[in-house]
Structure 1
Amino acid sequence: MIRTLQSGQRCEVWIASVNGESAVVYATDHMLLEAPNWTLAGTALVLNGDGKLWTLDVTGGSGGEPTEVPFTGIPDLNNDHVLDPDGTGIFLSANDGHIYRALLEGGPATRITGDDGAFHFLHGVSPDGAQLAYVAIEAGDFTQPGRLMTIASDGGAVARLDAGRLDVGSGHCDGPEYSPHGQWIYLNTESFTSVPGHAQLARIQTDGSGFERLLESDTVDWFPHLSPDGRYATYIRFPSGTEGHPADLPVAVVLVSTEDWTTPLHTWPLFGGQGTLNVNSWSPDSERFAFVAYPFTAPFPDSAKD
């Protein structure tokens, strides 16, 4: 399903820095953009919207209009996309439940995942580009917990990480992402509590050891993203009692040092949720990151209060 803006709602693309500064670099009331990545050159953001992929030039501070990336051979996209470490390719999750690879300049896309009865939601690429980490939802049944999986980036062997070698518990998990040196996979999981939806941040070493909770909080915490130098991380904080990572509610983007996840360095409250920070949005120099807000500029509709 392609998300759209509600009446009176707009989409704002923000860039923030590790020193706490932030600014809107693009705003529109015509298209709902989601989940920014930063290109390896540091000159543009990559976002999805209307089922397509777009690049947004940010070299001038205010980025002009998004430019569509012209893909072929791929269905409508969702907000799970991650750049290949080589900077020329991108891995994409589509609304048919499969993961694809294509060149960032456009052209034909190649499907990576097979027909194994699951929906596949991409989140991480290993630093050497050889492995992808994703969440599998069996038979597209979203009442069932997501399972942490990996697959060779060329479509080779698949491994289920919540059984055997890498055990991250039986609770729903999401957002698996490799650390910059490939030693850890960072994620959010409900395995630490029996409270429905109470996701918390965690990590596990890729050899299956050291599974640990990074932060114990009363809020619902999703999508930990490490800066390329490993010094900082961002995540999105949902209100206590939230189940899943829904759209259109008060949330916050949180910046921490990876030496101390318990003490925010800066926090950006905003109206958003789904689409705000689903994928790693750090700049290559580890100084900035991007996120998306969806404020209402007209009277708040009843449909957005639920």
Structure 2
Amino acid sequence: MESEICLWRHDGSVEVVHRGTGRIEAPNWCADGSLLVNAEGRLWRLAPGADRLTPVETGFATQLNNDHVPSPDGQVIAISDKAETGASCIYLVPAAGGAPHRLTAQLPSWMHGWSPDGRRVVYAGARDGGPVGIYLAEVETGDETCVTAGFDHADGPDFSADGRWIWFNGERDGAVDIWRIRPDGTTPERMTDGPGVDWFPHPSPDGRHVVHLRYPPGTQGHPADLDVALWLLPQAGGEGREIVRFRGGQGSLNVPCWAPDSSSFAFVRYPA
């Protein structure tokens, strides 16, 4: 199969910055302009203008899934890997690569975002046979708090740049919509309400927009290789609009993906 790493810009244009064989997933945009992606259970970097991916050393962590995010200060990368534990666990590795340091004690945990001050991570987790929910952990101590309740499934969390909201996709009564909630677990607000199945919301750094993935009505979970669309919402609330349609899904937009100046974001599509 073929993967295309793409950049969407506010004029509606889409630029393909890398084409590769195999499944490449989940681009993060780093402060230096490089992109981090997942492929073959490893972490890779695409430097600006480069035509090849270069590996990022992650020690024993060689069964990464596509949940990885650089810290706000750019010093470390949080990754999700199961090589040591058998289920997804969150680790921190130096941004230049190196040995993983375990962060989450409980499993499974899938990394999704950082608080703007870098003191906490927000992630999806399943505990004691319960549904997948949204959790916060202190980076210094690993102490964990669940911030969602009353959802059949909650996933894909990402902080707003001001730290006041956690955006996520939440399922209730068979409907999967975009929600936001305060970091203390109060004031949940539904931000989409339609027949589509909405996943992976990512607020822009300038506080204006949220991009998210929309699956066709009736889609179960977040599968790969479907006809999907990206939608853009105002962060303050209101009607969204479709901005691009393509073949993708799982792997296309799992992690924070905006450029630091909010001029564009990265996603992956998979041509048939």
TM-score w.r.t. the length of structure 2 is: 0.94
Greater Rg over alpha carbons, structure: 1
Correspondences of 1:1-306 after superposition (within 5 Å): 9-29=1-21, 31-41=22-32, 43-58=33-48, 60=49, 63-95=50-82, 96-114=87-105, 116=106, 118-138=107-127, 145-162=131-148, 168-191=149-172, 194-195=173-174, 198-264=175-241, 266-296=242-272
Matched residues in 1 for 2:100 and 2:141: separation? 13
| Cα root mean square deviation, aligned | 1.5
| Inter-partner Cα distance in structure 1 for 2:230 and 2:94 | 30
Mapped to 2, the partners of 1:79 and 1:10 lie a distance apart of 17
Deviations 1:28-74 (A, max 9, x none): 22x31100000112x2110010111111123x3xx310000112132
Q: Please say if residues 47 and 53 of structure 1, whose CA atoms lie closer than 8 Å, have aligned partners that are also in contact.
A: yes
Give the secondary structure class of the aligned counterpart of 1:108: coil
For 2:141 and 2:19, locate their aligned partners in 1 and report how far apart those are by CA, in whole Å: 37
Q: Which amino acid in the other structure matches residue 181 of structure 1?
A: D
CA distance in 2, matches of 1:129, 1:85: 6
Confirm or deny: 8 A CA contact 2:65 2:81 kept in the other structure.
yes
Paired AA for residue 75 in structure 2 = T
- Look up the SS of the partner of 1:199 in the other structure: strand
Range with greater deviation from structure 2 (274-283 or 175-184): 175-184
Tell me how far 1:155 sits from its aligned partner.
4.0
Deviation at 1:78, TM superposition (A): 0.5
CA distance in 2, matches of 1:156, 1:46: 24
With normalisation by structure 1, the TM-score equals 0.84
Q: 2:269 is matched by which residue type in structure 1?
A: A
Query: Percent of aligned pairs with the same residue?
Result: 38
- Which AA in structure 2 matches 1:79? N
Q: Which ranges in structure 1 are unaligned for 5 or more consecutive residues?
A: 1-8, 163-167, 297-306
The one-letter amino acid paired with 1:89 is: V
AA in 2 matched with 1:188: N
**Deviation at residue 260 of structure 1 after TM alignment:** 4.3
* Greater fraction strand: 2
> Contact conserved, 2:231 with 2:240, CA < 8 A, in 1?
no
1:79: Cα distance to partner? 0.4
| Cα deviation 1:210-255 (Å, max 9, x = unaligned) | 2110111110000110111111111000000001100111101122
* Structure 2 unpaired stretches of 5+: none
Quick check: 1:113–1:155 contact (8 Å CA) kept in 2?
no
Mapped contact 1:248–1:271 kept (Cα < 8 A): yes
Give the 3-state SS of the residue equivalent to 2:11 in structure 1: coil
2:12 counterpart letter in structure 1 = G
C-alpha distance in 2 between matches for 1:69 and 1:145: 33
Q: Is the 8 A contact 1:73 1:110 kept in 2?
A: no
